[in-house]
Chain A
Amino acid sequence: MSLDPEAMAPPETPWQEFLRIFRKDYQALFGFWVLMLLLVSALAGKALTEWWVVFDPEVVRLTDKFLPPFSVPSPDSLPTDRPFGGIYLMGTDELGRDVFARMFQGSFVSLSIGFVAVGISLGIGILLGGLSGFYGHVKLWCITVDTLIMRFTDAMMCFPTFFLILTAVALLPPSIYTIMMIIGLFSWMGTARFVRAEFLSIREQDYVTAAKALGIPEGRIIFRHMVPNALAPVFVSATIGVASAILTESGLSFLGFGVPPPDATWGNILSDGKGFIFDAPWLFFIPGMAIFMVVLAFNLVGEGLREALNPKLRSR
């Protein structure tokens, strides 16, 4: 045994330990603050564009088309249609809509696509992976539950994910809910395999045996003792999953299968903006950079979580 000063430090709770490691990771911390800012702006965007309309993303002002950022409305525009503060912070688009208001509204929509899609994929993944890991040996007629679920997972993994999502989104009626559901429904396979592997190893741990010996009911063992221990890596992949869901949505928008108007998402603002890349570059660069920053923040936070939650990576 080496005398590691870390190992001799006074014991701290796992949460304190996690915080200590996470705080030292500047990239992850930066990502975390970007995400907090995003969360605030998403909630504010929802509130200020729909419930208490200060920034109206849907006002069309034909007198104010293609105004660059920080420009003031033209004198001919209707006084009622003036933007909040009398200035277009991020310019206007081809219909004279306020890009700032649209980005504000889009932050909520984009974020909710990411969260709902990941929620669905986590739900399915944890359920199937948990069933397969815990009740895998149970026989149904002639095949085990494990074989049944994992072969189905393997079959789903054989398809190229983006192509499958594209096909489904193209065939189903276009709506924001379809897109959320489809992205979620076709990205649970990794989580399922992950959770199954975790469950298989946790099932053999001493504390589960102890819990069984104490006569604790099976449901309580699963949800109170096993799931929390299997969740840490799942949480990491969920963070990165939100990032990739936002990217997938922008990819779908680019191919013309994104969220239909009037809902603005960052993906469809970007893909509308690509037509005006020379005349109105802000329509392309603002949403592009916004997606980039947010996805980067999610990825950095995910990696920071992975480092902080994974005991094997520590002390190296």
Chain B
Amino acid sequence: MWNFIIRNIAQRLILLVIVSFVAHSFIHLAPGEPSEVDPMNPRMKPEDIAKIRAAFHLDDPLYMQYAYWIRDLASGELKSFKDSQPVLPKIWDRFLNSLPLFILATLLVWTWAFPTGIYGAVFRGGVYDRGTVFLSYALISIPGFFLSYLAIMWVVGWFGVPVISIKTFGMEHAETAYRMMDRVWHLVIPSVMAAIGGIAVLSRYVRSQMLEVLSQDYVRTARAKGLEEDTVIYGHALGNALLPFVTMFGLLLPGLIGGSVIFEQIFAWPGLGRLAYEAILSRDFPIIMTLNFIAAVLTLAGTLLSDILYAVVDPRIRLH
């Protein structure tokens, strides 16, 4: 077990080095430098551009830039090109903003997808099953921002509450109950919108996994023994059907950054996704690269976690 974990961590560290190479060279080889964001500005003289390039090490060869990046990242002194703020605290602040959105969306996905999928599989071919399967296709087929705009119009028009951004400006002196409700409204709508895709995808996985298990021999045996249908489904089948999803806990982590760009942009939510978008607009290379790097670290940590979890919950799997 420990042997497996240590070897896996070592493999993933090597992969991480490759990832950092790819992230760095990809960003730097793409045309367009931070110094060229505003090329039409007549006040930008060539000397100024050269000065900027020198200050950000952009005139050094690529491998030197990579070394600078890694050095600054490791020592925590990496500065944003745009405002010279340290990158890591900046990302941490935005991370804290994204966290409630991420947690609520994840909770929604997990609490909705499982019952939906399981009931669909148990009553296969029924109205409920066909309805939810079709609905899940419909929900992954709508452009996210189209649905979000409809939801905003509906919520604002029907309930008369503001939902854009993290809270209503100027409510600082309102009573606690009102402030709390305000925060809840602002949080719920974007979370639901971000969760919808996940619910649709996950419930179909759960359904097909449950169908797979229900056709196994041991379920037939349980039925043949004369056990009640509820015991067969919830006692014998459910646990086995849910096993693979334990691993998905690990794979959720990277969704923190990548999945949220559009939704945070729609709802003006000052989280990681928006930070990424703003960084891309201003060609803030340190932030783009660091976010990519962090996403990769999260992915690798997530897959490791899911491998280990799988071995822990499923005794049939032996780690070598």
Contacts and interface: CB of A to CB of B under 8 A. Distances in A.
A binds B: yes
A170 B296 CA distance: 20
A255 B277 contact: yes
A74 interface: no
Contacts of B291: 163
Interface stretch (B22-30, B54-62, B109-117, B181-189): B22-30
Interface stretch (B164-172, B224-232, B255-263): B255-263
Interface in A165-209: 166-168, 170-173
Contact of A152 (B18, B23, B215): B18
A179 B146 CA distance: 21
A296 B137 contact: yes
Nearest to B134: A27
Contacts of B49: none
Contacts of A157: 299
A299 interface: yes
Given A152-B18, A171-B283, A296 B27 contact: no
> Which of A157, A171, A277: most chain B CB closer than 10 A?
A171
A250 B143 contact: yes
Contacts of A155: 15, 18-19, 22, 296
A251 B273 CA distance: 14
Dominant SS among interface residues on chain A: helix
Contacts of B86: none
14 contacts: A155-B18, A158-B254, A163-B258, A168-B30, A171-B32, A288-B143, A291-B146, A292-B141, A292-B143, A292-B146, A295-B142, A296-B141, A299-B141, A316-B215
A267 B143 CA distance: 9
Interface in B264-299: 265-266, 276-277, 280-281, 283, 288, 291-292, 295-296, 299
B300 interface: yes
A50 interface: no
Given A255-B261, A291-B143, A292-B146, A159 B281 contact: no
A154 interface: yes
Nearest to B150: A288
Contacts of A267: 143
Q: Which of A152, A160, A270, A288 has the most CB atoms of chain B within a 10 A radius of its CB?
A: A160
A67 interface: no
A167 B280 contact: yes
Given A171-B30, A171-B31, A316-B215, A158 B19 contact: yes
10 tightest CB-CB pairs across the interface, nearest first? A160-B258, A158-B296, A171-B30, A296-B141, A295-B141, A288-B146, A158-B299, A155-B18, A250-B143, A170-B280
Given A173-B31, A299-B141, A316-B211, A158 B261 contact: no
Contact of B295 (A160, A168, A170, A173): A160
A254 B142 CA distance: 14
B234 to A, nearest CB: 21
Q: Which interface class (under 10, 10 to 19, 20 to 34, 35 or more) fits A? A: 35 or more
Interface of A: 27, 151-152, 154-164, 166-168, 170-173, 243, 247, 250-251, 254-255, 267, 270-271, 274, 277, 284, 288, 291-292, 295-296, 299-300, 303, 316
Contacts of A247: 141, 143-144
Nearest to A169: B280
A313 B143 CA distance: 30
B123 interface: no
Contacts of A270: 143, 146
Contacts of A162: 258-259, 261-262
Interface string B144-159: 1110010001000000
A19 B30 CA distance: 47
B27 to A, nearest CB: 7
Given A292-B142, A296-B141, A299-B141, A159 B27 contact: no
A163 B276 contact: yes
A157 to B, nearest CB: 7
Contacts of B30: 167-168, 171-172
B261 to A, nearest CB: 6
Contacts of B22: 155-156
B311 interface: no
Nearest to A154: B15
A170 B18 contact: no
A164 B266 CA distance: 19
A172 B141 contact: no
A172 B31 contact: yes
Given A158-B19, A163-B276, A296-B137, A251 B292 contact: no
Contacts of B138: 292, 296
A225 B255 CA distance: 39
B44 interface: no
Nearest to B32: A171
B9 to A, nearest CB: 15
A244 to B, nearest CB: 9
A316 B213 CA distance: 12
Contacts of A172: 30-32
B292 A255 contact: no
Nearest to B292: A159
A160 B257 contact: yes
Nearest to B145: A254
A27 B257 CA distance: 35
A247 B22 CA distance: 26
B143 A151 contact: no
A240 to B, nearest CB: 10
B282 to A, nearest CB: 10
Contacts of B312: none
A298 B130 CA distance: 18
B84 to A, nearest CB: 22
B96 interface: no
